[in-house]
Amino acid sequence: MNQIILTKLKSPKRINHLVFLVFSLFVLTDVVAQDSYGLSQCIQKGLEQNFALQVIRNREEIAENNFTVGNAGMLPTITATNRFGGTINSTTQNLRDGGENRSNGIHNTSGSAAVNLGMTIFRGFQVQNTYKKLGEQAELEGLNTQMSIENLVAQIVSEYYYYLEQLILFDNMAYAVSLSRERVRIDEQRYLLGSASKMQLLQSIVYLNADSSRYARQNEVLRSSQIRLNELMASDNLGEDICLQDTLIQINENLLFEDLLKLTLRYNTSLQIASKNQVISELDYKIIKSQSYPYLNLSSGYTYSYYGYETSDVRNQHVRGMNYGLTLGMDLFDGFNRTRENSNARIAIENRNIQFKEVEQEVMADLLTIYYAYENNLRLLRLEEQNLEVARENLEIALEQYKLGSLAGLELREVQKSLLDAEERLISVKYLTKLAEISLLQISGSIMDYM
């Protein structure tokens, strides 16, 4: 009779089918009608909708708007002024012969209209250097936007694969629950047939409850990762269920340090920003030096004036005129302020050079550290894959022995735990290797390859 009951144990294929059903009911009940997301779709949605990135792009647009010849001072300025007014006066004149002249409420009017033009012809190359600086600042904001995009893409890719990792762990825990439930069924049948003690049955139930608790906690972790991914994509509904197209974490095992180093030195955004700051500090120095040169300004204007008189031989008069002029000047002494500004500008250039070397060193250190971790994780990945194969084979043997009654429940539990631990270690190493891969591509300026 015991043999008949034992033959009713589910085969591995049927157990896997049960795991799939449990997983589907627990996680995918609300996403049947949902569209599945691939990595490139998540990245595209994040780049289009992420709020922080929108702010960065607006800053870049402001810098581009500021990059004009007019803002640099290359174009003339034209102003127009208009005025109309008057005076109301009362006058008393005492004459020498004792007479008196009085005039009350004399209203005289006046009006004017003028158009004036001003232009800097020469200011010691200040205008040209200012225009170059505006261009460099626009490019700097573009690099800041590029860095923000790269950071966002790296965050989305990392969270995408973290979510995938949690899905796989969730699947593994569902499998563990199914094994524990099957063991409870076997021990219950054995107890009813008198071939197992009640203590053995109760212990199996304890194991089932423990696995079910871990299963429930994993669902919470899974949900948190899902919300975080929705946040990065700026989804309207942060609680929206996400169905991923990928089912495995694919690792790029062909990254070479020499290639990454060349790409980093050429395309790393942090290095480009540091280099751009060097150029801007040098232009600031040239702009300050320009104050030592003479300056030449052009001015011109056209004026129309009207005067109206209430008491006079002249009733009114109209004046039309044009003015023009060149102003040549030079600042001779300003309390040594220019000397101070030049000295500070040179120090600023030196600081930018030091900062570039610092950034370069940090980038190289990160590249070396992460690449060593990447190589080590690849070696661990091979080891954990072998461990998993051994653990699976060991579980198959243990299950057969347990069916035959030649293996204790505690030993079966240990074998089952070894398999689950091996699966968790493998998926953890895969995720850590993927993180190293993401970081290496980000440092080398190749993070957009995930698109």
H runs (alpha helix) in 28-103: 39-49, 51-66, 69-72
User: Among 122, 161, 80, 150, which residue's Cα sits nearest to residue 328?
Assistant: 122
Tell me the three state secondary structure of residue 178. Answer: helix
What token pair was written down for 420? Answer: 């689950």
Residue 63 half-sphere exposure, CB side, CA atoms within 13 Å? 20
pLDDT tens string, the chain, 451 residues long: the values are 333 323 333 333 333 343 344 444 444 444 344 568 899 999 999 999 999 999 999 999 999 999 998 888 889 999 999 988 988 887 887 887 777 878 788 888 888 899 998 888 888 888 899 999 999 999 999 999 999 999 999 999 999 999 999 999 998 888 888 888 887 887 788 778 777 678 878 888 888 898 888 889 989 999 999 999 999 998 888 888 888 888 889 999 999 999 999 999 999 999 999 999 999 999 999 999 988 888 889 899 999 888 887 777 778 888 898 988 898 888 888 888 888 989 999 999 999 999 999 999 999 999 999 999 999 999 999 999 999 899 888 888 887 787 777 777 777 778 888 888 888 899 999 999 999 999 999 999 999 998 7
* Pairing, β 100-122 against β 295-308: antiparallel
Task: Return the CATH number of the domain spanning residue range 2-67+126-294+335-450.
Answer: 1.20.1600.10
> What's the CA gap between 336 and 343, in Å, rounded?
11
Contact present, 449 and 252 (Cβ < 8 Å): no
Distance separating the N- and C-terminal Cα atoms of the chain? 60
DSSP secondary structure code for residue 35 in this structure? P
Q: pTM for the complete prediction? A: 0.80
CB 367 within 8 A of CB 264: yes
Q: Which amino acid is at 10?
A: K
Nearest Cα neighbor of 141 from 241, 280, 315 is 280
Provide the 10 A C-beta neighbour count for residue 108: 16
